[in-house]
Copies of this chain bind each other. A is one copy, B any other.
Amino acid sequence: MILAKVYVTLKESVLDPQGTAVQRALQQHGYDEVQDVRIGKYMEVRLNLADKQAATERITAMCEELLANLVIESYRFELFEVNA
């Protein structure tokens, strides 16, 4: 079994209103040291595969096809072998 940790974030050039809202809320709660907040999606995907190379290809395809909107988002992932 392989666990893929997938991170989908907005591209730098894309405005992040959700991040801005959280940043303001933190600052209003006295966390003045907060300079910037960017918010993205974190997904844990368990794959019934044993081979990391195959998992890399499949997760890449899943990201490109479904998990990330490539117009505004970028993605990265890490793979871990785990017990079933």
> Which residues of chain A have a CB within 8 Å of any CB of chain B?
1, 7-9, 19, 22, 25-26, 29, 31, 33-49, 58, 61-62, 65-67
Contact = CB atoms under 8 A, between A and B. Distances in A.
Contact of A7 (B42, B58, B62): B42
A15 B1 CA distance: 22
A65 to B, nearest CB: 6
Nearest to A19: B43
Contacts of A36: 44-46
Contact of A41 (B34, B41, B58, B67): B41
Contacts of A61: 31
Contacts of A37: 43-46
